Amino acid sequence: MQKLNIRTSCRICKSKNLLQILNLGATPLADNFVTDTKAKEMEFPLNVVVCKKCFLVQLVDEVDSSLLFGNNDYGFFTGGSPASIKYFRDYAEKLIKDYPKQCEKLILEIASNDGTLLNNFKINNYNVQGIDPAKNVAKSANQAGIPTIIDFFNKKTAIKYFSDKKASLIIANNVVAHVDDIHDFMEGVDFALEPNGVFVFECQYLPYLIFNNQFDNVYHEHRAFLSLIPLLYLLNNKNLEIFDVEEYDTQGGSIRVYVSHKGACKKTDKFIKLQDEEYQLGLDKIETYLGINQRAQYIKIRLNKILSELKAAGKTVYGYGASAKSNTLLNYCGIGTDLLDLIVDKTPYKYGKYTPGTHIPIVDQDTINNPDYYLLLVWNYASHILKKEKKYRENGGKFIIPISTPYIL
């Protein structure tokens, strides 16, 4: 098995005219939390380029999908985050309200993880089906009563599993940007979707990465960083089209994109407006993408200075949230146990493990005393966490927010 492929052409338009805009060095896989800190970990480069033709921002260093997702030790469980549980409950309720006819038949979620979203449909007696390649999380979903196929989704598997039972609603969250072959993926959606069905997907929205310095959202699972401009290019020669789009603050800023077969749904004013805004932001101009590498370097220097000064002053500093994005931040900034004693998390699966590369221990927050400072590694959930930790803050505890520029709160 070839573990790493170096891409030389754009994954959407196939142009070879690519410009590097960000280099984060070599890091371990972000979701591979380790138990043995002496074992040698595989590291892979993180280089980000923009295509000068369709303006897709993407990784050029592609780790084999079976290493990223198709294993039995995948570290992310959607149900491990209280904020995610509420978010996906609201998400399901909105789809049931807005697309009642599509919900009456088969609801398919691609990359369904532990079934947290689909469970909200199942408890209301809707017919659901998940598909996910991560064996351990798919097993957890099946044990919870959410039928889940353990496999990757593409045109071949769409034909294999959905020839006799098309889906009227297909959902895919934080996966379209992850797939190896995005054309093959969309052709699978086209095949599996009923003629009047709706495909809904969420992805992190590129402008937040560029303008809010969210370089920690770059890790090997995230092969592309999406905006409407390249998505429209992608679907131009497919039997699919975008008809609506909404913005959400999840993952530091995301879009929820609504897709149908061509001509099946009327395009909304929101979709047309966001299209116009992308051109106003200059997402069709190369100069817009320049400078993020220098801004990432500034954050690295600034964050290390804050943490070093706090440790020199005898303060205790822990990390808050052992997420995948945190591992990009920690590895790029060179933050290890010399600056963070440990990281607290709410996912039991991670207890007793260590962060990849930096080897910081992960513990249950309920088993330790609060430190003087928390480095908020899951800053995208800041509003929820700051409310949750109100008492800690009232007692003098402080948070260090690393993105979009480091400061103490």
pLDDT single digits (tens) 319-333: 999 999 999 999 999
Q: Which two tokens stand for residue 43?
A: 């590291």
Check if the beta carbon of residue 81 is closer than 8 Å to that of residue 174: no
- In the predicted model, what is the mean pLDDT of residues 116-134? 95
Residue 66's pLDDT is what? Answer: 79
- In the predicted model, what is the mean pLDDT of residues 137-160? 94
Which residues are 170's β-sheet partners?
108, 199
CA distances (Å), origin 183, targets 114, 189, 407? 26, 10, 41
- In the predicted model, what is the mean pLDDT of residues 305-331? 97
Q: Examine the pLDDT at 71 and tell me if it is beyond 50.
A: yes
Check if the beta carbon of residue 110 is closer than 8 Å to that of residue 172: yes
Residue 73's pLDDT is what? Answer: 66
Q: Examine the pLDDT at 1 and tell me if it is beyond 50.
A: no
Q: What percentage of the chain reaches a pLDDT higher than 70?
A: 98
Q: How many CB atoms lie under 10 A from the CB of residue 323? A: 27
How many CA atoms lie within 13 Å of 197's alpha carbon, on the beta-carbon side?
A: 24
pLDDT single digits (tens) 197-228: 999 999 999 999 999 999 999 999 999 999 99
Label residue 75 by pLDDT band (50, 70, 90).
low
DSSP label at 60?
S
pLDDT single digits (tens) 150-186: 999 999 999 999 999 999 999 999 999 999 899 999 9
pLDDT single digits (tens) 250-261: 888 999 999 999
Residue 60's pLDDT is what? Answer: 94
Q: What percentage of the chain reaches a pLDDT higher than 90?
A: 87
Q: Examine the pLDDT at 67 and tell me if it is beyond 90.
A: no
Label residue 72 by pLDDT band (50, 70, 90).
low
Distance of CA 65 to the CA centre of its chain: 15
pLDDT single digits (tens) 341-367: 999 998 888 999 999 999 999 999 999
- In the predicted model, what is the mean pLDDT of residues 377-383? 93
Q: Examine the pLDDT at 39 and tell me if it is beyond 80.
A: yes
Total residues belonging to the chain: 409
Check if the beta carbon of residue 380 is closer than 8 Å to that of residue 52: no
Q: Coil, strand, or helix at residue 32?
A: coil
Distance separating alpha carbons of residues 65 and 8, to the nearest angstrom: 18
Residue 166's pLDDT is what? Answer: 96
Sort strands 57-59 and 43-51 into parallel, antiparallel or unpaired. antiparallel
pLDDT single digits (tens) 93-114: 999 999 999 999 999 999 999 9
Distance of CA 268 to the CA centre of its chain: 26
Residue 251's pLDDT is what? Answer: 80
Q: How is 5-45 classified by DSSP, letter by letter?
A: EE--S-TTT----EEEEEEEEEEE-TT--BS-TTSPPPEEE
Label residue 64 by pLDDT band (50, 70, 90).
confident
Distance separating alpha carbons of residues 227 and 275, to the nearest angstrom: 9
Q: Examine the pLDDT at 373 and tell me if it is beyond 70.
A: yes
Residue 94's pLDDT is what? Answer: 97
Residue 334's pLDDT is what? Answer: 97
Which residues are 108's β-sheet partners?
129, 170
- In the predicted model, what is the mean pLDDT of residues 104-133? 95
What's the mean pLDDT when you consider all of the chain?
94
Structural domains of the chain sorted by starting position, each given as residue range(s) with its CATH number in brackets: 4-61 (no CATH), 78-289 (3.40.50.150), 304-408 (3.40.50.720)
DSSP label at 11?
T
Q: Examine the pLDDT at 290 and tell me if it is beyond 90.
A: yes
